[in-house]
Amino acid sequence: MTGKRESKKRAVRKALYDAAVMLIERDGYDAVSVDQIVAQAGVAKGTFFNHFPGKADLLADWYSQAIEGSLEETAEAAALALPDRLAAPAHRSIQAVSASPRMWQAKHAHALATPSIHSAEREADAALRTAIAGMIAQARSRNELPARVDPEAMADLVVTLVTGTIRESGVTGRLDTVDTRIADRLGRLCELAGYRPLAETPSSH
């Protein structure tokens, strides 16, 4: 019985979420009310608040789902030069969120006032930082980065650079150039850190 209740609860939450995304992408965040969302989902208004404290909390769910899987590195990405490898998770995230531009804009607009969005962003940033630190440590072990480079410290700079550039783009509406700007900035950061691709490092023979 518990399993059936949980399944029904998840199904209702998904129906509300799907209805909200569809309506917001069609009409814009400010034009969509909770009444419209529950009508589209086919549930009572009170049911909405059993799943979400408010309309803006849907944006946190959307953000978490949009970037889910963006940190799962492919074999192709693992073989890239370090600047491109560091940029790959951001590129995958951008592709995911840019599929819903009105949700993306609303997430930025309501982030400061919505704790659940703050939490989703913190969790995403922490996961990205861990993944990036691993990439940097691997590059250092191959002598592509100097031994003095601290993977955790450099990862923190990378995450700040990437998230700052993405959020800047969301606010300014310049998502069309964000990939290029992230790539350029990460390339400069790696250069400042002393990065040399493996083919350019001195031979041990």
**109-153 confidence digits (pLDDT tens):** 999 999 999 999 999 889 889 999 999 999 999 999 999 999 999
How far apart (Å, rounded) are the C-alpha atoms in residues 176 and 141?
35
For the domain covering 2-54, report its CATH number.
1.10.10.60
The percentage of residues in the chain with a pLDDT greater than 90, rounded to a whole number, is: 65
pLDDT one-digit tens code per residue, 70-96? 878 878 888 899 999 999 988 888 888
Q: Which CATH architecture is the domain 62-199 placed in? A: Orthogonal Bundle (1.10)
118 contacts: CB under 8 Å, gap ≥ 6: 111
Question: Could you tell me the pLDDT band of residue 173, with boundaries at 50, 70 and 90?
Answer: low
How far apart (Å, rounded) are the C-alpha atoms in residues 104 and 29?
10
Q: 38-67: buried (b, 16+ CB within 10 Å) or exposed (e) per residue?
A: bebbebeeebbeebbeebbbbbbbbbbebb
- Contact of 110 with 59, CB cutoff 8 Å: yes
N-to-C CA span, the chain: 69
pLDDT one-digit tens code per residue, 23-68? 999 999 999 999 999 999 999 999 999 999 999 999 999 999 888 7
How far apart (Å, rounded) are the C-alpha atoms in residues 8 and 41?
13
pLDDT at 205: 40
Quote the tokens at residue 120: 């989703």
pLDDT at 199: 67
Q: What is the CA radius of gyration of the chain?
A: 20
In this structure, how many other beta carbons lie within 10 angstroms of the beta carbon of residue 98?
16
- Contact of 20 with 55, CB cutoff 8 Å: yes
Task: Reply yes or no on whether the pLDDT at 1 is more than 60.
Answer: no
In the chain, where the domains are located = 2-54, 62-199
Helix (H, G, I), strand (E, B) or coil at 203: coil
DSSP for 162-186, written as a single string? HHHHHHHHHHHT-GGGHHHHHHHHH
In this structure, how many other beta carbons lie within 10 angstroms of the beta carbon of residue 181?
15
pLDDT at 201: 47
**How far is Cα of residue 118 from the mean position of the Cα atoms in its chain?**
12
How far apart (Å, rounded) are the C-alpha atoms in residues 118 and 109?
12
